[in-house]
Amino acid sequence: MGFETSTPVVGEQFFNRVRELDMLRSIAAEAKGGVRRWLAILGHRKVGKTSLLIEFLRRSGAELPMPYVDCWDVRADPLLFLLRFLSAILGAAVRHLGAESDVGPLEAMEGDRLAASTVQALARLRSKAIDEAVQLHESVASGRPAAGTLHRIFDLPGRLAADIKGPVLVILDEFQELERLRRLRRFKDRVDDVFGLLRSLWQRQEGVSYVVAGSRLSAMRQIIADEKDAFFQHFEVLELGPFERRESLEMLRDAFGAGADLAKSAMATRILDLVGDHPFYVRVVAGEAAAALPGGRVTLHVLEHAMKEALESSLLEENGRLSLFMEQRYRAVTGESSTLESVLRGFVDPARISEVSEKLHVRTGAVSSAVKTLLGEDVLEKHADGSYGFTDPAFALWLKHRVDFRLAMPPLLVGTDSEQAVARRLAADGFRGVYQSRASRGAFDLLAVHDTRVIGLQVKTGAPPFELRAQEKARLLEDARRLGFVPALALVRGDAVRFYDLRQGSGKGGLRIRDDTRAVETLLELL
pLDDT tens digits, residue range 249-294?
A: 988 888 887 667 788 888 899 999 999 999 999 999 999 998 888 8
Smallest CA-to-CA distance from 416 within 273, 301, 310, 523 is with 301
Please give the helix or strand (H or E) that residue 76 lies within, else none.
Answer: helix 73-76
pTM passes above 0.85: no
State the sign of the Cα–Cα–Cα–Cα dihedral 397, 402, 403, 404.
positive
Residues 401, 407 contacting (CB under 8 angstroms): yes
- Residue 500: CB partners within 8 Å, gap ≥ 6? 488, 489, 490, 491, 511, 513, 517, 518, 519, 520
Q: Which of 31-45, 63-77, 238-252, 405-419 has the lowest mean pLDDT?
A: 405-419
| Residues 187-220 as b or e (16 or more Cβ within 10 Å = b) | beeebeebbebbbebbeebebbbbbbbbbbbebb
Look over the chain and give the mean of its residue pLDDT values, rounded to a whole number: 87
pLDDT mean over 213-238:
91
125 burial via Cβ count (<10 Å: 0-12, 13-18, 19+): middle
User: Which residues, listed in sequence order, are joined to residue 407 by a DSSP beta bridge?
Assistant: 433
Predicted pLDDT of residue 454: 86
Strand runs labelled E in 235-327 = 236-239
User: Which residues, listed in sequence order, are joined to residue 169 by a DSSP beta bridge?
Assistant: 209
Residues 50, 211 contacting (CB under 8 angstroms): no
Residues 407, 435 contacting (CB under 8 angstroms): yes
Residues 283, 322 contacting (CB under 8 angstroms): no
Predicted pLDDT of residue 108: 45
Rounded to 10°, the helix 266-274/245-256 angle is: 110
Smallest CA-to-CA distance from 56 within 27, 91, 97 is with 27
Predicted pLDDT of residue 152: 94
C-alpha gyration radius of the chain:
29
SS (H, E, C) 392-454: CHHHHHHHHHHHCCCECHHHHHHCCHHHHHHHHHHHHCCCCEEEECCHHHCCCCEEEEECCEE
490 burial via Cβ count (<10 Å: 0-12, 13-18, 19+): buried
Q: CA angle, 77 as apex, 76 and 81 as ends, to 5°?
A: 110
- Residue 322: CB partners within 8 Å, gap ≥ 6? 281, 284, 285, 314, 315, 394, 398
Question: CA-to-CA distance for 356 and 362, rounded, in angstroms?
Answer: 8
Q: How confident is the model at residue 411 (pLDDT cuts 50, 70, 90)?
A: low
The conformation of residue 517, written as its DSSP 8-state character, comes to: S
Rounded to 10°, the helix 266-274/393-403 angle is: 80
Please check the confidence at residue 146 and state whether its pLDDT lies above 80.
no
Q: How confident is the model at residue 111 (pLDDT cuts 50, 70, 90)?
A: low
